[in-house]
């Protein structure tokens, strides 16, 4: 991974679970633990990464760990670079979805979920770490879905309005809260 990490542009997928596009370098917690600075230092210099992508990773961290992970990402991103991050949406308007993804829920991996973020809490965490945040997909507190067109080449989120096969015939079966957190 160290050789790939030194390529330009440097784009990494955090917690890739074996899924990555060709122009991105996949990482797993076994060798790049978001919380361990020594893992980051093995592969990267500060202010060198052009883009990061994390799909359904942050909900497996406590709120405190999520902030530390965001701070570490911030430190290793170049100025102007971004982290595209997706998590289950705590303001989703379908109670079955919430029961599926909430900590201790009955969905895949939910037994390990620690936090169910909404756009307010997720944005606030990244802002506290120093990022400016652009909301790409989310439900607001009234259950209204919001969507900003985003380029999949800049980080494809598979569990999204456009790319999740559970979204059929205009019904949003599965979406994510998606943000671009940009280093100012």
Q: What is the pLDDT of residues 90-132, one digit of tens each?
A: 999 999 999 999 999 999 999 999 999 999 999 999 999 999 9
Q: Which residues pair with 51 in a beta bridge?
A: 11, 82
Please provide the average confidence, as pLDDT, over all residues in the chain.
Answer: 94
Q: Distance between alpha carbon 137 and the CA centroid of its chain, in Å?
A: 12
Chain position carrying tokens 């760990």: 65
- C-alpha 49/C-alpha 74 separation (Å) is 10
Using pLDDT thresholds of 50, 70 and 90, give the confidence band for residue 3.
Answer: low
All structural domains of the chain with their residue ranges? 2-183
Hey, what are 8's tokens? 């330009």
Judge whether residue 6 has pLDDT over 90: no
Q: Does residue 1 contact residue 31 with C-beta atoms inside 8 Å? A: yes
Which pLDDT tens digit goes with each residue over 17-37?
Answer: 777 677 899 999 999 999 999
Identify the sign of the CA torsion 13, 33, 112, 177. negative
Residue from 182, 174, 120, 177 nearest 146 by CA: 177
The pLDDT value given to residue 168: 86
The CATH number for 2-183, chosen from 2.30.30.280, 3.40.50.720, 3.40.50.150, 3.40.50.880, is 3.40.50.150
Indicate the pTM of the whole model: 0.94
The pLDDT value given to residue 1: 52
């Amino acid at each position: 991974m160290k050789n790939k990490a030194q390529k330009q542009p440097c784009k990494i997928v955090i917690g890739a679970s074996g899924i990555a596009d060709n122009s991105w370098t996949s990482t797993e917690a076994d060798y790049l633990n978001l919380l361990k600075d020594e893992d980051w230092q093995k592969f990267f210099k500060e202010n060198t990464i052009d883009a990061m992508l994390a799909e359904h990773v942050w909900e497996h961290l406590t709120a405190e760990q999520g902030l530390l992970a965001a701070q570490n990402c911030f430190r290793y991103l170049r100025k102007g670079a971004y982290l595209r991050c997706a998590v289950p949406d705590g303001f989703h308007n379908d109670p079955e979805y919430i029961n599926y993804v909430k900590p201790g829920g009955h969905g895949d991996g939910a037994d390990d979920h620690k936090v169910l973020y909404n756009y307010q809490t997720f944005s606030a965490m990244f802002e506290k770490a120093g990022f400016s945040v652009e909301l790409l997909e989310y439900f607001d507190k009234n259950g209204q879905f919001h969507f900003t067109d985003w380029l999949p080449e800049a980080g494809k989120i598979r569990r999204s309005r456009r790319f999740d096969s559970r979204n059929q015939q205009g019904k949003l079966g599965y979406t994510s809260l998606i943000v671009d957190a940009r280093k100012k």
